[in-house]
Amino acid sequence: MSKETIRVRRKRGRIGNRLRRVPLYVLPVLWSLFTIFCVLWIILTSLKTNRELFSNVWSLPTSIQYQNYVKAWTVSKLGLEFRNSVVLVFASVLLILVLCAPAAYVLSRMKFKGGGLLTGIFIAGAGIPLPLLFIPLFGLTAKLHINNTLPGLIIIYTTVSIPFTMYLLTGFFRTLPTELEEAARLDGCSEFGVFRRVMLPLASPGLITAAIFNFIALWNEYMLALVFLNDPNKMPISRGLYGIAESMQYTGDWVGLFAGVVIVMVPTIIIYVLLSERLIEGITMGALK
Amino acid sequence: MFTERKKLIIAFLIPSSALYLIFFLVPALQSLFYSLFEWRGFGADKEFIGLRNFQHLLDLRATFDGQFPFLHLNPRDAVFWVSMKTTLTFLLLGGVLTFTLAFLFTAMLSSGIRGKKFFRLIIFAPNVVAAVALATLWGFIYNPRFGMLRGFFEILGLEEIAKTPWMGPGKIVFAVLIAMCWIWIGFYLVLLLAGVDQIPKEMFDAAKVDGANVFQLFTKVTIPLIWDVLSIAIIHFGIGALKVFEFPYVICGRLPPREIWTLGIYTYVMGFGKRDPIYRLGYSSAIGVIMQLLVIVLILVFARVFRREAVEY
C-alpha cells in the first residue's frame, strides 16, 4: 500500500466519523433554532402593527413601529413598573448579600456547637413550598404596617432567597484555601479584619454569582408580588406585563403585549449573555463536590 | 466572657437568623396551626375544628359496586382533586419527559460534537426569562384563532390539525406541560452535563475496550458516576414541580380554567380569591400543609431510592 492510499483512507475515516456524528446534531440544532426563532419572532412582532400580525403571523414588519414600545412604556405604565422593579430587586439583592455573606462565612469556616444544624435549617427552607407562607406572612406584614409596600416586599424577597443563597455561599466559602486566613491571623489581624480584608475579597466570585442568581429570580418573580402587593403604582414589571396580558381580551393589542415582553426580557437576557458562565457555574457548584 | 471569635459568630449570625425565623420559619409553623381552624377573613374569629379541613379536602367519597369501573369517586372537594391531579401530572409525566430529554441532550452534547457550549447556552436560556413573558409567548403559540401552531399546520396544509384548540379541555394540561418542559430541560441539562463532564475520559475508554455498547456505557458508567448530581437534580425538580404556580396561572391572560390549577394556585385562590376574595384562610392553610407533606414524602422516597455508597473515582 502506498503512502498515498493510506492518507486517503485515513481521510475517509475521518470524514466517515464526522458523518456518523451528524444525527447527534439534529435534535440540539432543531431545539436551539426553535428557541432562537421564538426570540426573534417576539422582537419582530413587537415592531409590527396588529393588522400585520393578524393577516400573517410570520411576516416581517413593513415599517418599524417604535410607538408600540412608547405605548407599553407610558400608557401601559411599564416605565413606572420597570423603575419599581429596579428598586425592589437592587434593594433585595443588596440586603440578601449583606445578611447572607457574613452568616455563610461563619457557618462554613468556623467550628462551633450547632453550626451544622443551623446551616441545615437554613438550607432546608428550600423544601418549604412558598404558598404555605401566604396567609401568615400576609397577616404579619399587615400587623407591621408594611403590607402593600415596597419595603415589605423587599423583606419577603430577601427572606425567601436566604435558603438558596446560604446553600450557594456556604458551598463557596468552603472551597476557599485556609492559608491566607491563617497568615492574616498571625499578622495580628482581628477576626472581623480577616473576614473584611481577606475572605470577602476572596469570596467575591461567589458573591457575584449569588447576586446574579437572585437578580434574575427576583426580576422575574410574579407570585409573591401578586399576593403581597395591591397598589397599582407599586407593581413590579412582571405584574405590569400580566396586567397588559389581562386587558388583552378587551384591547386585542398583541403587538403592544409583545413590546412589553421584550422590555421584561431584555435586562435578564443581557446579564445572561454577558455572565452565563458564572451563572452555569453557580448552578453546578453545589451539586458537584 | 465572650472571646472575640464568639462575638463575631453571634454578630454575623443574628441578623439573617432573626429575619429567617420571623419571616419564614414561624409563618410556616403558623400555617400548620391555622390549618386546624375555620377562619373566614383576617378580621374574623378563628374557630378550632381539628382536622376537619383535611377531612373535607381528602374525602374522596369512594363507593364500590358491581358496575364498571367498580370504584366510583365523588370527592367532596372536586377542585382540590383536580389540582392534585394536575400537580402530580406535572411532577410525574413532566419528570419523565424532562429527564428523558435532558439525558438525551446530555449524551449528545458530551459526545464531542462541536458547539457544545453554544447549544447549552441556548437550551438553558428560557430559564432566565420571566415566566410571565414565556407564558405570554406560549399563549400566543397555542392561540386557536391566529396562533403560531395554527399557522404552522396551515403552511403544511394540515387544515384539520390547524384548527385544534390546543388550550381546550383535555389538552390544556399537556399544552402547559410541554411549554414548561421546554424550560425545565435546559436547567437539568446543565446539571447533568456538568456531572458527565467530571467523569474522567479513561472510564469510558476502559469500558469501550471491554466491549461495552452505548446503552451499557450509559447504565453502567454514566449513571453510577453522576449519581450524586442526579439525586440532587431529581429532588430539586420534584420540589419545583410540586409548587408550580406562575406559568399555568398566567398563560391564559385571565384566571385559568380549573383544569390547570395546581395545589399552589388553589391555595392562593382559597386564601385570597381573584376578583372576589374568598378568604377561607384555615382551609387554604390546610392545602399548603398538604403541599408540604407531599414535599416531605417525595424527599423521603428519593432519599431511600438514592441511598447507596457513592462511587469514588
Q: What is the complex's ipTM, to 2 decimals?
A: 0.92
Asked if residue B42 is part of any domain, the answer here is: no
Lowest mean pLDDT among A55-69, B2-16, B112-126, B267-281: B267-281
Same domain for A71 and A188, yes or no, is: yes
Distance from CA of B75 to the nearest CA of A (A): 23
Same domain for A14 and A119, yes or no, is: no
Asked if residue B152 is part of any domain, the answer here is: no
Same domain for A144 and A243, yes or no, is: yes
Q: DSSP strand E in chain B: where? A: 37-39, 46-48, 63-64, 71-72
* Number of domains chain B is built from: 1
Q: For cell 405605548, what's the residue?
A: A71
Considering only residues 47 to 106 of chain A, which have any Cβ-Cβ distance to chain B shorter than 8 Å? Answer: 53-54, 57-58, 99-100, 102-103, 105-106
Picking from A132, A137, A153, A281 by the largest number of B CB atoms within 10 A of its own CB, the best residue to mutate is: A132
Same domain for A19 and A94, yes or no, is: no
Confidence of residue A11 (pLDDT cuts 50, 70, 90): low
pLDDT of residue A10: 57
Residue A237 has pLDDT above 70, yes or no: yes
pLDDT in tens, A130-178: 999 999 999 999 999 999 999 999 999 999 999 999 999 999 999 898 8
Confidence of residue A289 (pLDDT cuts 50, 70, 90): low
* A280: nearest CA partner in chain B: B190
Asked if residue B74 is part of any domain, the answer here is: no
Q: Does B8 touch chain A (CB under 8 A)?
A: yes
Same domain for A203 and A156, yes or no, is: yes
> Average pLDDT for residues B134-162, to the nearest whole number?
91
Same domain for A21 and A82, yes or no, is: no
Asked if residue A179 is part of any domain, the answer here is: yes
Considering only residues 103 to 132 of chain A, which have any Cβ-Cβ distance to chain B shorter than 8 Å? Answer: 103, 105-107, 110, 112, 118, 121-122, 125-132
Which CATH number goes with the domain that contains A268? 1.10.3720.10
CA gap B26, B45 in Å, rounded:
21
Asked if residue A40 is part of any domain, the answer here is: yes
Q: Does B31 touch chain A (CB under 8 A)?
A: yes
Asked if residue A264 is part of any domain, the answer here is: yes
Same domain for A111 and A200, yes or no, is: yes
Whether the ω angle into residue A102 lies within 30 degrees of 0, i.e. cis, is no
Is B137 within 8 Å of A261 when comparing Cβ atoms? yes
Same domain for A264 and A156, yes or no, is: yes
Q: Does A243 touch chain B (CB under 8 A)?
A: no
Asked if residue B44 is part of any domain, the answer here is: no
CA gap A167, A160 in Å, rounded:
13
Q: For cell 456547637, what's the residue?
A: A113
SS3 A250: helix
Query: Could you tell me what percent of chain A has a pLDDT over 90?
Result: 72
Same domain for A184 and A274, yes or no, is: yes
Q: Does B296 touch chain A (CB under 8 A)?
A: yes
pLDDT in tens, B195-214: 998 888 888 888 888 888 87
pLDDT of residue B212: 82
Of A39, A129, A220, the CB nearest to B130: A220
Asked if residue A13 is part of any domain, the answer here is: yes
Q: Domain range spanning residue B98?
A: 83-136+165-306
Asked if residue B273 is part of any domain, the answer here is: yes
Asked if residue A56 is part of any domain, the answer here is: no
CA B25 to chain centre: 22
Q: Which three cell numbers stand for residue A281?
A: 457555574
Neighbours of B57 (CB within 10 A): 22
Which CATH number goes with the domain that contains B170? 1.10.3720.10
> Average pLDDT for residues A192-196, to the nearest whole number?
91
Confidence of residue B277 (pLDDT cuts 50, 70, 90): confident
Q: Which residues of A touch B253 (CB under 8 A)?
A: 245-246, 248-249
Q: Does B263 touch chain A (CB under 8 A)?
A: yes
Of B23, B42, B191, the CB nearest to A142: B42
Distance from CA of A125 to the nearest CA of B (A): 8
Distance from CA of A279 to the nearest CA of B (A): 10
Size of interface A-B (CB pairs under 8 A): 264
Asked if residue B33 is part of any domain, the answer here is: no
Confidence of residue B311 (pLDDT cuts 50, 70, 90): low
CA gap B86, B243 in Å, rounded:
11
pTM of the model: 0.92
Q: Domain range spanning residue A73?
A: 67-287
Considering only residues 131 to 150 of chain B, which have any Cβ-Cβ distance to chain A shorter than 8 Å? Answer: 131-133, 136-137, 139-140, 146-148
* Number of domains chain A is built from: 2
Is A137 within 8 Å of B23 when comparing Cβ atoms? yes
Same domain for A72 and A18, yes or no, is: no
Asked if residue B222 is part of any domain, the answer here is: yes
pLDDT in tens, B162-202: 888 999 999 999 999 999 999 999 999 999 999 998 888 88
CA gap B103, B95 in Å, rounded:
12
Asked if residue B6 is part of any domain, the answer here is: no
* A242: nearest CA partner in chain B: B132
Q: Does B35 touch chain A (CB under 8 A)?
A: no
Confidence of residue B274 (pLDDT cuts 50, 70, 90): low
